[in-house]
Structure 1
Amino acid sequence: MFLIADLVISGGKVWHAGEFVECAIVIDNGKIVKLCKEPLAPRSDLRLNVNGLLILPGLIDIHSHLRDFKLSYKEDFYTGTCAAASGGFTTVFDMPNTEPVTNSPIRLREKIEKIHLNAIVNVGLYSAPPKNIEEFIELVNMGIAGFKVYLSEYGELNTDHCNYNFYNACNNYNIRVHFHAELRDFININTTTCELNVLNHHLIRPTKAEIEAINYVFNLKSIYKFKAHICHISSSDSCFLISKVKYNHLNISVEVTPHHLILNNNFTSTWGNIAKVNPPLRTEYDRKMLVKLLNKGLVDCIVTDHSPHALEEKSKDYCEAPSGFPNFEVALPVLLSRCLNDELIFSHVISAMSENPAKLLNLKNKGKIEPGFDADLVIVNHKGEYTIDPEKFKSKARYSPFKNMKVKFKVFKTILGGLLIYDEDEILVKKGCGKFVKIGVKNDSFSKTY
């Protein structure tokens, strides 16, 4: 038993077991070792009184794009993880649609090296489907979080090039497949009937593309029995399908984004291509149905889909402007602010950004403020009003459709493994303090035939 702890955090309202409690958090060797009344806390090398602020579990984002390599002008592992830390995220997972595409052990090793050299929060990695089963097995062994399949794309980001039964292999090796659920055959079907501009983006990539993709995934899963995850659903019809699946206890997980929960397609009138995103912002009715799905507890995770691009790219014509925008630094403030008017349920928001993603990806000792868990924490100031100002972002992408939105919450401090990494707009650590999150392999039988 320690005599002097590394850190004691006192004076805060701690999110514990689904409610706020007033207690001290005792941290030693990167772990939470005790929750207790402040007078009962041991001596410590450092004591931090947060004066009534909120203390939440460090946020976990299972869907982000850190770019780097040939896309480092958009974002890199350092700036992206700085943005994550300033948004309260202590663990994030990076998608494989990079240049070059991450779909081989060589590419994955390159990313892991980038994490060790540059990341300041913990980072896990996905792979796109590899060409052959040998690379598939090696990627699983290397600890990827899952495979990402873009049903909207051809080639390396889909399974067109695989020379083996990809989905059967995913079942046999117990690895989850995350789907971008817009079926390519139903995208652009309205281009002959509507003008090509951002105001029609939700028609050019219609709800039908998402519904057909989800049904396609359901069919694949019924055949191959693998673990399936539906990324960033955006429509009321999708909510109906997901509700039906959840109530029938089928093992399919689902995520939503802050922008689909808060914004609708009217925001494209104000922000133009800044608000262009895939899947598109849809109608107010669609947005409200997503909120309802979350409030019913049927959404597994809230993800940022942090997708930075250069502002010059977003300023191009509609057809050339890329989809997506930065979200790490706005997600928590905008979501918690919507809890104040009871539109969103606070406990569901926090669970979907911490405990649920930890369970989904089998992250041991993360997602809760409990003794024995990693000391990953975010301290939130809820005592004022703040304005979203993208010019202050740590991300290279300093724009947002949330610009000028008034919020009641602001990330004050972020703690990773007991180390204060972000404090009142300042990054306090050097590159490389983040770690690669290696997901354990449950099935180590590598003699199967495909």
Structure 2
Amino acid sequence: MKTILIKNAHIVNEGTILKGDILIEGDYIKEINDSISAKSANVIVFDAEGKYVLPGVIDDQVHFREPGLTNKATIETESKAAIAGGITSFIEMPNTNPQTTTIEELEKKFEIASKTSSANYSFMFGGTNDNLDEILKVDPKKVAALKLFLGSSTGNMLVDDPKVLETIFSKTNLLIAVHCEDEATIKANFEIYKEKFGDDIPIKYHPEIRSEEACYLSSSKAIALAKKTGARLHVFHLSTGKETDLFSNKIPLKEKKITAEVCIHHLWFTDKDYDTKGTLIKWNPAVKTKNDREQLWEALLDDRIDVIATDHAPHTIEEKKNVYTKAPSGGPLVQHALPAMLEMYHKEKISIEKVVEKMCHNPAILFQIEKRGFIKEGYFADLVVVDLNNPWTVKKENILYKCGWSPFEGTTFKSRITQTFINGSLVYNNSKFSDVKAAKRLTFNR
């Protein structure tokens, strides 16, 4: 059994920063204390003097494109980029090809991940208008959640039959995660701009097409249905200030039935960035105004918004540089999400303790993930070592995504992820990857 002793770390956990040591035995954290001595010559001692140790980030929304879209990304390539960015566990979405809407296809994805993933993994099962029987077969202890596209779907994954929706909300025991944008509103808006500009609609109109109204209308309907049926609802990637008023901070997260997420891009960019970034920052839901961004920050910090995620969704650069109607929405983010949030810490926008709460603790609580998301004795040793004063610039040569580009290219971050441990194994060390496959399938305490 491998034994690793991390010495002299600033340990960030549950709202505190403790200067101390962490003893890892096998896959687990054995001891946390002010000072721990190596009791054997076989103990590997790692000195973290001057560095911060965080729980591994849990990203609750990624699109790793496998199977079927592997020209853009694979579980292998994107999970490798994730661990370089301090993300030790991910939950991947069902809109692959084929879609993950049957138990058979779900198990195929688990099989791929078991052989190729560098990070711990789980998948969401996809709902459609006609797969209720399959949904009811899903074991809540083994699968992260049920994903419903209430807008912006691919294939046949738009769930737009009100009777089907109510039945799903009423019958499933799974947490329901939703993408909320009203399709009728978006289509009406799109036709106005298409008639005026043709295919080459200026990207600045993207947030007018995928508007505040489209987001709020869909989110409010989903929340009303959850309240009516008692379903456990998690609303993905809020993009408007108006939507934040739909959520509460009056009870602890573990008691909430309705929760919310915000993504890195909606906390970083605004509609003014379309002038320089163009379709590279075309996402669904759209990046909106500075006022929306500030209201999202306010709701994040006062706990109406519970989780920060990436919605990592890579496309090739050739696809992204198409005209508006042909440029797909989405972008790669897992490698740069934690550095971006630590940059906000340096700008005094958020504390490092709050970053850990929103990116590590809360996803574990919200999805009831077993023994992850915290630095605790008896928990899996998923740990990230961060140097808060080691600047680096995002360049093509250090981008690890298969698609080879990033919306952060040219950005200098003050903080650097120097080491990542997964299940007690050092898998990433100063820009070098270990050959050890330490990743495990996530399990859920439900």
Q: 1:158 aligned to 2:155?
A: no
Who is 1:182 aligned against? 181
In structure 2, relative to structure 1, the CA distance for the partners of 1:282 and 1:153 (3 Å cut) is closer
Map Cα deviations across residues 239-267 of structure 1 (whole Å, 9 max, x no partner).
22225897998621100011111110111
Between 343-352 and 375-384, the greater mean CA deviation after superposition? 343-352
Aligned with 1:53 (options 31, 51, 54)? 51
8 Å contact from structure 2 (residues 127, 146) kept in 1? yes
Question: 1:148 is matched with which residue?
Answer: 147
Q: Equivalents in 2 of 1:260, 1:169: separation in Å?
A: 29
Spell out, residue by residue over 1:129-167, the C-alpha distance to the aligned partner (whole angstroms, 9 max, x if none): 1534431222236822111111114663133589x8554
Provide, for residues 339-364 of structure 1, a one-character-per-residue CA deviation record: whole Å limited to 9, x for no partner.
12221233222111111000111112
Aligned partner letter, 2:413: V
Count of residues paired in the alignment: 436
Assess, with a 3 A threshold, how the Cα gap between structure 1 residues 38 and 142 changes in structure 2: closer, same or farther. Answer: closer
**Aligned with 2:227 (options 209, 222, 231):** 222
Query: Is this contact kept in 2: 1:201–1:280, CA < 8 A?
Result: yes
The amino acid that maps onto 1:119 is: S
- d(CA) in 2 for partners of 1:435, 1:34: 22
Aligned partners of 1:128 and 1:158 also within 8 Å: no
1:169 positional shift:
4.6
Q: Which amino acid aligns with 2:33?
A: C
Q: Secondary structure at the match of 1:370?
A: coil
Answer whether contact 1:391 1:399 (CA < 8 A) is retained: no
1:136 aligns with 2:135: yes
TM-score by length of structure 2 reads 0.92
Residue aligned with 1:7, SS: strand
In structure 2, which of residues 313, 318, 321 is the aligned counterpart of residue 315 of structure 1? 321
1:35 aligns with 2:32: yes
Query: Structure 1's 170 and 433: CA in aligned 2 closer, same or farther, altered over 3 A?
Result: farther
Task: Specify which of 46, 57, 73 is matched with residue 71 of structure 2.
Answer: 73
Deviation of residue 297 (structure 1)? 2.2
| Distance in structure 1 (CA, Å) of the matches to 2:310 and 2:21 | 30
Of 408, 423, 446, the match for 1:402: 408
Matched, 1:267 2:266: no
Call closer, same or farther: CA 1:365–1:247 in 2, change over 3 Å: closer
Contact conserved, 1:129 with 1:156, CA < 8 A, in 2?
no
Counterparts of residues 84-95 of structure 1 (less than 5 Å)? 84-95=82-93
Could you tell me which runs of 5 or more consecutive residues in structure 1 were left unpaired when the two chains were aligned: 443-450
TM-score, structure 1 length as denominator?
0.91
- Conserved 8 A contact 2:239-2:262: yes
1:390, distance to aligned residue in structure 2 (A): 4.3
- For residues 153 and 357 of structure 1, the distance between their equivalents in structure 2, rounded to whole angstroms, comes to 24
From 354, 365, 374, the equivalent of 1:368 is 374
- Preserved CA contact (<8 Å) 1:93 1:126: yes
Q: Which residue of 2 aligns with 1:116?
A: 114
The code of the aligned residue for 2:286 comes to P
Residues 271 and 335 (structure 1), Cα distance of their counterparts in 2 relative to 1, 3 Å cut: same
- Cα offsets for 1:207-243 (capped at 9, x unmatched): 1000001111122113221101110001111122225
- 1:413 & 1:422 partners in 2: Cα distance? 5
Residue matched to 2:4:
7
Q: Which runs of 5+ in 2 are unaligned?
A: none
Kept in 1, the 8 Å contact 2:14–2:357? The answer is: no
